[in-house]
Amino acid sequence: MNASELPLFYERLVQRLRERGVVCAITSGLACVHYGIAETTQDCDLLCHTRSFEELLDLLSVTRPEGRDCHYRGNLSPPLDARWHRGGWTSHFEWGAGLEAVTLDVFGHALRESTPWEDGLIGLYAGPHTVAEMKRTSRDKDWAAVTALGVRMIEADDERGWLHIFNADTLAELLQAQACPSALAAARPALQLALARDPRAPGALNAERRFWEELDRRRIQLLEGHLRPYVAAVRQARAGQALSLREDHALRLECAARHLPPNPLKEYGLQRYVGEAKAALVEGALIPADALTWLPDVAIYFEWLNR
């Protein structure tokens, strides 16, 4: 399957899931392509309501593009199960292997979602607000997409777009042409500075971005630490066996029950997690200590861990 055929393949997959009553949507890179702010991607990230995971597994088991069976990707993937996805784990699938593999990453929750992702669907895709929140990662390439999505939202009269502008020049231009609601500015110190034409605004935007990058980096490190015993158990249990998707799924459920905490970030403590991220930024000289006052309260982006 060539790259030009992949978006249609993923869209048909979502259409078939919707026909079964599954609440799901394409997000991340492929959504950016759909919204016209990226040119291409070969991967697909899928948001799927956790109550529909059995339907998703059933469909993946019988979907065979070019005669290739679907399977979990390597030993690293946690099982597609609500108990773990409610805590932020992600499941990874592929058809084929290597560079030519067709891949699918499944999320039960949108990472950093401030509102339920199900409430903002646009056709087969997650809304730009959800996509922009998921793109607040430690990868440099994602940040241009965050700002671009914010611009599109503002142009479409979605005021939440002001929360996603991280480029200082872009923000200054928008503020000359558009009115930013005071309620949104109140929740974002960097936006307040920009509205006041304070010369510290670019530094505040940079500090906020560095904060999100550090939060994502620490989240990944925390998950990777818990994955090691699980991956070792999966590798030993599989021992080179050729398993069907359902057989592999059952095996991973057993290994996860013994080795994978369902909600590691909540167990670690959100206040501790956020506090350590702030401290690391100052200790690493990534932002000055007084820039901590420019950082927003991020608690709303992690409330879904308690649902």
User: What is the model's pLDDT at position 302?
Assistant: 95
What residues contact residue 122 under an 8 Å CB cut-off, 6+ apart? 128
- All structural domains of the chain with their residue ranges: 3-117
Q: How are strands ordered across the β-sheet holding 70-72?
A: 24-27, 45-48, 102-107, 90-95, 70-72
Q: Which residues contact 269 (CB under 8 A, 6 or more apart)?
A: none
Please determine, for residue 20, whether its predicted confidence score (pLDDT) is greater than 80: yes
> pTM to 2 decimals?
0.95
**Which structure tokens are listed for 15?**
């259409």
Ranking 57-66, 95-104, 206-215, 217-226 by mean pLDDT, the lowest is 95-104
Enter the CATH code of domain 3-117: 3.30.460
Give pLDDT tens digits for 185-243.
999 999 999 999 999 999 999 999 999 999 999 999 999 999 999 999 999 999 878 89
User: Please, how many CA atoms are within 13 Å of residue 21, restricted to the half-sphere of its CB?
Assistant: 4
Which pair of structure tokens corresponds to residue 31?
């959504």
Q: Taking 80 as the threshold, does the pLDDT of residue 287 lie above it?
A: yes
